[in-house]
Amino acid sequence: MSERPDSAGPDPDDTFDEFAELVEEETRRDPDLAVIEAGSRTLRTQGGPPQADVPARPADPEVDKALREVEAELATRWGETKLEPSVDRIAALMDVLGEPQRSYPSIHITGTNGKTSTARMIEALLGAFDLRTGRYTSPHVQSVTERISLDGAPVSAERFIETYQDVKPYVEMVDSAQEYRLSFFEVLTGMAYAAFADAPVDVAVVEVGMGGTWDATNVIDAGVAVVTPIDLDHTDRLGTTPAEIATEKAGIVKQDATVIMAKQPVDAAQVLLKKAVEVGATVAREGLEFGVLDRQVAVGGQLMTLRGLGGEYTEVYLPLHGAHQAHNAAVALAAVEAFFGVGSRHARPLDIDTVRKAFASVASPGRMEVVRRSPTVVLDAAHNPAGARAAADTIGEAFQFSNLIGVVGASADKNVRELLEAFEPVFAEVVVTQNSSHRAMDADALAAIAVEVFGEERVQVEPRLPDALEAAITLAEEEGEFAGGGVLVTGSVITVGEARLLLGKG
């Protein structure tokens, strides 16, 4: 483990010189990227802006065929929305696999929104400090292989297939002994933990699938438990109030762990703090022990000053848009500090240059991701009211659209009315559609709610996503090429993933 705390802090003159060198380098490479808003500084890594790591289908036909066969076998199992709340099956699988999840330390992440982006930031920070990482997140944007990452990148299709074949006999053994077969998510979780042990990794960054207590990932005893903001989602399974949902999510908090807690509703915070007391965990709270001190909109993202557990981190560039991503960054930084013992064993901050380099490398596909220009098309995977409110705030802050058209395809089990209400102030018009998932809300049913929210004259129905994208782009272009038209595709991770493919990404 390589920890490089910076006890003295950066010299201001050195920081300015370094910044000037970075700007000069950007100016030589691409003058457009060197445009810096008055009063702000933009720090970038030498490699330029990060690229989203969403893998395409394998180029080798035989590998592609083998991957499709694995996907088809996984598809015969219970999907992620059909649950039997228990960790008995995954625990049995871990037992026959030799408890691979106990061969490395882990950071466990729960919450309602921001889990995947926070996981990616934690992964980037740990990697920058020379640790080998494994990351397990869900759902995927385009390829199931995205869910399992090693060293900051999704495993290859070949490795995914090999891992599945390795665990398959043990999965079948557990299936035969249990009342219900292992689910799709449980098998993938077992694959991830096995792949991390086989690598081997120095640390695993694990995002829960749903809840916490009975989530399949909760067979780890993470030394650091992260709770991103809790809001109402999956209310049919987790509860109808933030406190009830927090009760389920608090299940990842283990004996003597450190809990990194984002800002929470009061009743949710009380539940989490009570659980921490019960198990002797230490709590660090956003807004008290750590947080965002300052943020400014910058070219391609934002410039932040963060307060961590060990001190301040200034001039930190994050190539992601939105206040919510700055708060995710503060949570991620505190989690990594806690992992390194900052705030418990010592109070020294982490090396500032390493922290800056890590954050500048972060990408989060499908989260305010620009995939086309003229007109600009942005993808955001907001799928519940809280996520929609964050997306609406961000689109107004980061982009200057005079005519923004929404493309919305949502799942039938979501609070669609409140999601649409969050976007109503920022969408000039909305094109409602549906994705290919069996969970997708029928386009006509979605349109009926949209008409109530937007009015009939602002709603267009295109059941096929390709037609919806074409219609939205046409509407955005009506004011002319340079008039500030744009398109935001949102409502579901699946909708965003399919739109991403249609628009030539991956």
| Mean pLDDT confidence for 438-452 | 95
Query: 461, 432 in Cβ contact below 8 A?
Result: yes
Q: What pLDDT is stored for residue 282 in this prediction?
A: 96
- If one counts every other C-beta atom within 10 angstroms of the C-beta of residue 21, the result is 11
pLDDT at 49 exceeding the cut of 70 = no
Query: 109, 118 in Cβ contact below 8 A?
Result: yes
pLDDT tens per residue, range 87-127: 999 999 999 999 999 999 999 999 988 999 999 999 999 99
Q: What pLDDT is stored for residue 8 in this prediction?
A: 42
Q: What pLDDT is stored for residue 311 in this prediction?
A: 95
8: Cβ–Cβ under 8 A, 6 or more apart, which residues? none
pLDDT at 1 exceeding the cut of 60 = no
Angle at 29 between CA 27 and CA 33, to 5 degrees: 60
CA distance 300 to 303: 10
Name the pTM for this structure. 0.85
Lowest mean pLDDT among 112-126, 140-154, 221-235, 417-431: 221-235
User: What angle do the packed helices 385-398 and 416-423 form, to 10 degrees?
Assistant: 10
195's enclosing H/E stretch is helix 184-198
250: Cβ–Cβ under 8 A, 6 or more apart, which residues? 212, 213, 227, 271, 272, 275
Please, what sign has the CA dihedral across residues 262, 263, 265, 267? positive
Query: 357, 45 in Cβ contact below 8 A?
Result: yes
Residue type (1 letter), 453? V
Question: Residue 238: helix, strand or coil by DSSP?
Answer: helix
In degrees rounded to 5, what are phi and psi of residue 333?
A: -60, -45
Lowest mean pLDDT among 75-84, 91-100, 144-153, 493-502: 75-84
CA distance 502 to 171: 35
Query: 156, 147 in Cβ contact below 8 A?
Result: no
201: Cβ–Cβ under 8 A, 6 or more apart, which residues? 104, 132, 133, 134, 150
Lowest mean pLDDT among 105-114, 233-242, 313-322: 233-242
The token pair that represents 345 in the structure block: 């064993």
Given pLDDT bands bounded at 50, 70 and 90, which one contains residue 440?
very high
Percent pLDDT > 70 in the chain is 87
Pick the more confident residue, 49 or 432: 432
Q: What pLDDT is stored for residue 335 in this prediction?
A: 98
Given pLDDT bands bounded at 50, 70 and 90, which one contains residue 238?
low
Q: What pLDDT is stored for residue 53 in this prediction?
A: 66
Q: Is 241 buried (19+), middle (13-18) or exposed (0-12) by CB count in 10 A?
A: middle
pLDDT at 478 exceeding the cut of 50 = yes
- If one counts every other C-beta atom within 10 angstroms of the C-beta of residue 8, the result is 6
| Mean pLDDT confidence for 477-489 | 78
Q: Number of helices (H) and strands (E), helices first, in the chain?
A: 16, 17
pLDDT at 413 exceeding the cut of 80 = yes
Q: What pLDDT is stored for residue 239 in this prediction?
A: 67
Given pLDDT bands bounded at 50, 70 and 90, which one contains residue 289?
very high
Q: What pLDDT is stored for residue 240 in this prediction?
A: 75
Given pLDDT bands bounded at 50, 70 and 90, which one contains residue 34?
very low
CA distance 157 to 152: 15
The candidate with the shortest Cα–Cα distance to 208, out of 285, 113, 286, is: 113
What integer best gives the mean pLDDT of the chain?
Answer: 88
| Mean pLDDT confidence for 460-467 | 97
CA distance 462 to 506: 24
| Mean pLDDT confidence for 353-382 | 94
In degrees rounded to 5, what are phi and psi of residue 206?
A: -125, 125
Given pLDDT bands bounded at 50, 70 and 90, which one contains residue 428?
very high
Percent pLDDT > 90 in the chain is 76
CA distance 178 to 180: 5
| Mean pLDDT confidence for 452-473 | 97
Question: Residue 307: helix, strand or coil by DSSP?
Answer: strand
pLDDT at 26 exceeding the cut of 70 = no
pLDDT tens per residue, range 388-407: 999 999 999 999 899 999 99
Q: What pLDDT is stored for residue 252 in this prediction?
A: 97
pLDDT at 336 exceeding the cut of 90 = yes
pLDDT at 457 exceeding the cut of 70 = yes
Q: What pLDDT is stored for residue 7 in this prediction?
A: 40
CA distance 303 to 433: 36
Strand partners, 350: 5
